[in-house]
Amino acid sequence: MNLRVVLVEPLYDGNVGSVARAMKNFGFRDLALVNPCKIEDFGLAMASHARDILQMSRTFGSLPQALQGCDLVVGTTGKRLDEAQHHLRLHLRVPCFTPEELGRKLYGKDGTVALLLGREDCGLNSEELALCDILVSISTKSEYPVMNLSHSAAILFYELSQLEDEEGDNVEMAHGDSLSLLQDRTRSLLDEVSYPLHKVDFTLLMLRRILGRAELTEREARTLLGLIKRIRWRIAGCEKPESPERR
């Protein structure tokens, strides 16, 4: 598994440097920055011996650009979902995975996983969370639930690094392009069956989260694409007659 750490509009270069240092501590090197603050001397100092991580990092103007080539998108959130409004609970899905659960879920997977970390003041917004297949949250005390960006990153990196050296058969994750195509084909299918327009986006988001938790392989994703294709053919009246032995 290749982990791409994506910092979304980080505000302070010291935190960016600290995240880079934590990445190197646990063996991760792929850092993507979305509209970041300027990295100056303090950020370089906080990176310490991980300045090479900063130098190799890539900067993007939008989150979708930073996610190109990723097969699974994991979003982080510190929102207290039990106290959130009903529509927000549906959007985020309660409960989120813990870092330990995420580590177990990704063990033995072969693919590129993006780990999104949001802004220091407000985290990831609703539109950014909607791009995520899986959500992870670190349990903290309600007295002071908000963690520093680099501290929460270090906890996640630790958990995701623990199973690296254990032996096991790797399973190829469904490719990001296949999952994106599955979303597009499902949207077309919903249109063709006159699915209520006001439910389409939430239904597709629910599907994204279901597939994210299901740990689809590429073969499984292609099978689902084939299934949707046959359904759409049937609806359009273009399905070839079944052979006698299949009737």
Residue at 19: amino acid letter? V
194 vs 174: CA distance, rounded Å: 29
Work out the percent of the chain whose per-residue pLDDT is above 90.
64
Choose the weakest-confidence range: 53-62, 76-85, 105-114.
Answer: 76-85
Give the residue-averaged pLDDT of 14-27: 97
| pLDDT > 90? residue 37 | yes
Give the residue-averaged pLDDT of 207-221: 89
| pLDDT > 60? residue 77 | yes
Crossing angle of helices 197-214/176-192, nearest 10°?
150
Q: Do the strands 58-60 and 112-117 form a parallel or antiparallel pair, or are they unpaired?
A: unpaired
Q: Which two tokens mark 61?
A: 């103007």
The mean pLDDT of the chain is: 87
- The reported pLDDT for the residue numbered 244 is 45
Q: Which of 22, 23, 16 is nearest to 41 (CA)?
A: 16
The secondary structure of 124-153 as a DSSP string is S-HHHHTT-SEEE-----TTS-PPPHHHHH
| pLDDT > 90? residue 20 | yes
- The reported pLDDT for the residue numbered 85 is 53
Bridge partners of residue 4, in order along the sequence? 30, 114
- What is the per-residue pLDDT across 147-186, written as a single tens digit (0 to 9) for each? 899 999 999 999 999 865 555 567 889 999 999 999 999 9
CA atoms within 13 A on the CB side of 157: 24
Q: Where are the domains of the chain?
A: 2-171, 174-240
Rounded to two decimals, the pTM is 0.84
Residue at 180: amino acid letter? S
Helices (H) and strands (E) in the chain, counts: 11, 8
Q: Which two tokens mark 25?
A: 């501590």
- In this structure, which CATH number among 3.40.1280.10, 3.40.50.10140, 3.40.50.700, 3.30.1360.120 belongs to the domain 2-171? 3.40.1280.10
Within a 10 A sphere around the Cβ of 166, how many other Cβ atoms? 8
| pLDDT > 70? residue 118 | yes
| pLDDT > 50? residue 245 | no
Give the residue-averaged pLDDT of 240-247: 48
| pLDDT > 70? residue 82 | no
109 vs 158: CA distance, rounded Å: 17
| pLDDT > 70? residue 83 | no
Choose the weakest-confidence range: 78-82, 94-98, 176-180, 207-211.
Answer: 78-82
